[in-house]
Chains A and B, each alone.
Chain A
């Protein structure tokens, strides 16, 4: 029985090709925003843009732990909702565990509730791009008060991103 050994380079070559194939199949970087979840028009305040989105009552306790998505087809997870606080002006801020890799290396940032929308059991940040969010300071609880779970706040809606 003659056994011809395969060229040593071929098997790693196949594995490399598989990895490259997976990398080229998805292109999470090269997408535009979808018609759902468009950012506020130039010059419009966050509050006004939320008002345009038929804000609905949502229970704060239901928001905790929810995915925060990027409004693009690939629905990248930007982070998860850690808690909801009120700042000195009474504005509702949503504290998001932002970034990192599968939860490691994330840091909390405070995103105005008016910069976000609810879609079913998820939320999206529509008013800021991931690059802008990266510039947000790490959240510090000083000067904020926790909003209790049973509090009902109003958040705008958006159609799904796809």
Chain B
């Protein structure tokens, strides 16, 4: 069966390389079918006849309002329900803005966790150093913005403990993440300090597999799936809004459960 990703007339390869992130996001939207639809055409040109600027701005204003409301609704002491380990789904469900073939495994030997921003001790961490920290486990429900959910089990370092360990400024507003798959993400400090926010190293009692974020992923119980970056390579504590991959495409930022 001919792949819809191979159009009849193939553009010059350099054009594709330049626009790889955009093309990936279009592919993710399933827009490149046999022929380009009006929607994808106008998206390529940067304007959308079905979504005038004023309407878009109004909708995004509501989204920011909702971020504020969600921050008010967030109870830092409320734990998400937990489940018995027997209910852990093995393997967990994979998702990314690309399909699994494009996962780029991380080399554990050369991988370092870089730190920057409002952090006193900015030395990078190796995987063994992280593994030596006290670990905690939780079995919680992962909920995707798409609507599906599953029960998963993660083990790792409580993020609050890690932030305290490296002398992060806990009064700062944001914690930002960079990843090996160009998937920036950021969260509010209140959620970063929640007891069920982990720097996860294991799933279901075993080392994280490559498709699920090896060596380290962020795992929270109080945010939608897309806020939990995999293959974390850098953490920054900052007061400047860092945004994120999906937020740039219109998804909400707070995304709290």
Contact = CB atoms under 8 A, between A and B. Distances in A.
The answer to whether A and B touch in the complex, with CB atoms under 8 Å apart, is yes
Contact of B3 (A38, A62, A73): A38
Nearest to B29: A35
Contacts of B209: 54, 56
Interface in A53-102: 53-54, 56-59, 62, 73
B100 A159 contact: yes
Nearest to B34: A32
Nearest to B94: A157
Contact of B99 (A41, A62, A129, A159): A159
A120 B89 contact: yes
Nearest to A34: B30
Given A53-B100, A120-B148, A158 B1 contact: no
Interface residues of A, number: 29
Contacts of A53: 100-101
B96 A32 contact: no
Interface string B1-41: 10111000000000000000000000110100110000000
B93 interface: yes
B252 interface: no
Contact of A159 (B5, B94, B150, B210): B94
A56 B231 CA distance: 18
Is the interface on chain B under 10, 10 to 19, 20 to 34, or 35 or more residues?
Answer: 20 to 34
B99 A36 contact: yes
A53 to B, nearest CB: 5
A119 interface: yes
B95 A159 contact: yes
Interface in B97-123: 98-101, 103
A59 B88 CA distance: 13
B256 interface: no
A159 B98 CA distance: 8
B90 interface: yes
A120 B27 CA distance: 22
Nearest to A152: B90
Given A34-B30, A36-B99, A160-B95, A54 B150 contact: no
Interface string A1-13: 0000000000000
12 contacts: A33-B4, A35-B30, A36-B99, A38-B3, A39-B3, A41-B3, A54-B209, A73-B30, A120-B93, A157-B211, A158-B100, A160-B148
Interface of A: 32-39, 41, 52-54, 56-59, 62, 73, 118-121, 129, 156-160, 162
